[in-house]
Amino acid sequence: MLAVNNVTKKYNDFTALENIDLEFENGVYGLLAPNGAGKTTLIKMLTTLLFPTKGEILWEGTDIRALDEKYRDIIGYLPQEFGYYKNYSPRQFLDYLAALKGIDKHDSKEKITELMELVALEDVFDKKMRKFSGGMIQRVGIAQALLNDPKILILDEPTAGLDPKERVRFRNMISGLSKDRIVILSTHIVSDIETIANQVIMFKDHKLFCNDSPSHICNTLEGKVYETWDIENVKTPHILLTQRQEGDNTLVKFATDIEYNGEARRVTPTLEDVFLYVYNDGV
């Protein structure tokens, strides 16, 4: 189990995260918050790029800093901006990264072939990455994160640059991978985690706001979300969530803390509604 115990991270006078307590077991964890909320700081602490100012991060009861390379040996990480060598093929590139991960040469060859098939890049295995699309590069990034068959897979904004079809394939792949490992997925795109995350972790004001299943989180807005064609006549204090154009009319979804009896239909809240409601001040 991976445990984050009372962790605070400060950069001089600025507090990026404060008193965070989390526990991770096998499954998909979605870190959902707007940019600047502290997701990347937490991810960088989980990958040992940053160290907590206060508190500790434990893997199976031992501080990850003390575990050092033993901990790094069990993590797979895809950073937000994944760099690559343009003049090398995925085979050469992954060969190099596998060596840095301490994987035996013979094992790495087999593993690389297997991963190239998993991310559907087997056809361009020996092509230079110079001409790869953003989505293809991102898939190479996912493959490198899986090279050492990590027990903890940490993905920072992994769907950036992927087209809708690739996003669906990515989600299916992550669901499959999470059966025997911890997958921590940071994103501000709700649909990335809505269907695949077992737990959703949200930060607000640099503190932990909630850590619960998507359905429980959606339940917190139960009875507060409505849809109407006539938003101008809604006089109750409300927060606009989304709007959808249908013909000449606009269907507006809004949330209100007071029960609304006007011309509007009560709807089941989605994770996106909760996201927009919680981070209303920043939207």
Partner 1 sequence: MNIIKPTNSEKENAIENILSKGLSKPDGLMQFSNKIYRTLGFKFIFFDISQAIIMAVAVTVGFFLLYSLSSPRNVYSTLYAVSPLFFITVVFLTEFFERNGSLYELKMTFKYTIQEVIIFRILCYSLISMVICIFISISIPDKYNFLRAVSITLSALFICAAFTIYIMRNFNGRWVHFTSLVVWVTIVLLPVLILGESWELLLSQIPIGITLTVSVIGFILYLNEIKKLINMNKMEVQYYVGS
Least distance from partner 1 to the Cβ atom of residue 110, Å: 18
205 binds partner 1 (CB under 8 A): no
Q: Which is nearer to partner 1, 38 or 158 (CB)?
A: 38
Question: What is the contact mask toward partner 1 in residues 114 to 153, using x (rule: CB under 8 A)?
Answer: ------------------------------x---x-----
Residue in 1, 21, 36, 205 binding partner 1, rule: CB under 8 A: 36
Centroid of chain to Cα 102? 27
44 binds partner 1 (CB under 8 A): yes
24 binds partner 1 (CB under 8 A): no
Instruction: Locate the DSSP E strands across 68-206.
Output: 75-78, 152-156, 182-187, 199-204
Residues contacting partner 1: total by CB under 8 A: 36
First to last CA, the chain: 35
Rounded to whole angstroms, how far apart are CA atoms 41 and 276?
Answer: 22
Rounded to whole angstroms, how far apart are CA atoms 131 and 160?
Answer: 18
Centroid of chain to Cα 174? 11
Q: Which stretch binds partner 1 (CB under 8 A): 35-43, 120-128, 189-197, 222-230?
A: 35-43
Rounded to whole angstroms, how far apart are CA atoms 190 and 194?
Answer: 6
DSSP letter string over 96-134?
HHHHHTT--HHHHHHHHHHHHHHTT-GGGTTS-GGG--H
Positions in 45-84 near partner 1 (CB under 8 A): 47-51, 65, 68-69, 72-73, 75, 77, 79, 81-84
Chain residues binding partner 1 by CB under 8 A are: 11, 35-41, 44, 47-51, 65, 68-69, 72-73, 75, 77, 79, 81-85, 88, 96-97, 99-102, 144, 148
